[in-house]
Amino acid sequence: MDIESKIRLVTRDVAEVVTVEELRNLLETGGGSGYLGFEPSGIFHVGWFVWALKFKDLVDAGIKMNLLAATWHAWVNDKLGGDMDLIRTAAKHVAAVIDSLGIEGRYRLVYAEDLVDNSGYWATLLRVAKSASLARVRRALTILGRRSDEGESDFSKLIYPLMQVTDIFELGVDVALGGTDQRKAHMLQRDVAEKLKKRKVIAIHTPLIPSLQGLGRMDLTGLSEEALEELMMEHKMSKSKPESAIFVTDSDEVIRDKVLKAYCPPRIVEGNPVIEIAKHLIFRGEERKLTIDRPQKFGGPIDVWSQEELVRLYASGVIHPLDLKNAVANYLIDFMKPIREKLFSNREYREVIEVISRSVSR
């Protein structure tokens, strides 16, 4: 694969790359290494496939990728009741889903324990802390899905952004991959790296899939950038809000039912979760055909070939919400069924899912 093909592969359907020039230089000199950190906190849902598929793109482009199971981070963030054994179990589940994308054995799985057990990790964290203001760290709390004032009642939350920056230094990677909700941590790393004369990470940010319930008809006018960011975080697809997400363990019938009930008003594209799923899972910045079955009296089936065409046709009313929902549900069923069957056919994976599901349902 030539350099231009690698650039297109890595940058397709991303919200931001900081910076493309740095990425090009990296790929021209051999590809380097990268990482994606995730909190093991429950069953894998559709929103996570956006970064998971981009993780695969980076692997395919020749970047040596690390998948960091951020177990300590999940504990700090009160995930799964703070049960570290359960958090580690959830990490195995996520790795199993990533493997099902066809990259098993082509990346390195790292647990946070592998990093924090090293005394040098905490020395680096203190250097990071001395290079960042309290106000800057507090603003970064949104990377946890937390409001910026939540560090007032639990100081450990303020350590989380510092840990994320330290992870990058300790792993020694060139690229940090994450959703747009991780931007503040990555920009903090770049600023701190400049002060400490260390390597500034190249940041690649993927879009977030909104909650199936959408934002509704909220009035967003007059909101500050910080308030808008916190609102979007509260309304993204999330494992902690089962009604907001489609899970990899959901049956075909449940997937269809959730999509059919999803927020999807006619002609409205912004904040529409069904549109966003289609854009970032079906098309993914590529040209590929999605057939929308419409009744003959409304013109019959129509083929859509890109994100841009989908948005234009939906906003103009050519595509009806129900027809779009049926097409997206069909795609998700076809996409997720082999992954679900692989998970449930493996005894270890099945038991892991059962343990996590019992804990979440308590």
User: Could you write out the DSSP letters of every residue in 132-189?
Assistant: S-HHHHHHGGGGGT--TTGGGT-THHHHHHHHHHHHHHHHT-SEEEEEGGGHHHHHHH
Domain contains 297: yes
Specify whether 79 is located in the same domain as 198: yes
- Whichever domain contains 287, its CATH number is 1.10.240.10
> What digits encode the pLDDT tens for the residues 128-182?
999 999 999 998 888 776 555 665 667 889 999 999 999 999 999 999 999 999 9
Kindly report the CATH number assigned to the domain that includes residue 73: 3.40.50.620
**Domain endpoint, select from 163, 188, 206:** 206
Q: Is residue 66 within 8 Å of 99, Cβ to Cβ?
A: no
Q: Looking at the structure, tell me whether residues 93 and 187 fall in a common domain.
A: yes
The verdict on 191 and 275 lying in the same domain is no
Q: Are residues 66 and 200 in the same domain?
A: yes
Kindly state whether residue 246 falls inside one of the protein's structural domains.
yes
| pLDDT tens, residue by residue, 174-196 | 999 999 999 999 999 999 999 99
Q: What is the predicted pLDDT for the residue at 98?
A: 98
Query: What are the pLDDT digits (tens) for 1-27?
Result: 899 999 999 999 999 999 999 999 999
Range of the domain at 251: 241-361
pTM for this predicted structure: 0.92
Residue 16, phi then psi, degrees to nearest 5: -170, 145
Mean pLDDT of 197-215: 93
**Which range (20-29, 212-221, 244-253, 295-304) has the least confidence?**
212-221
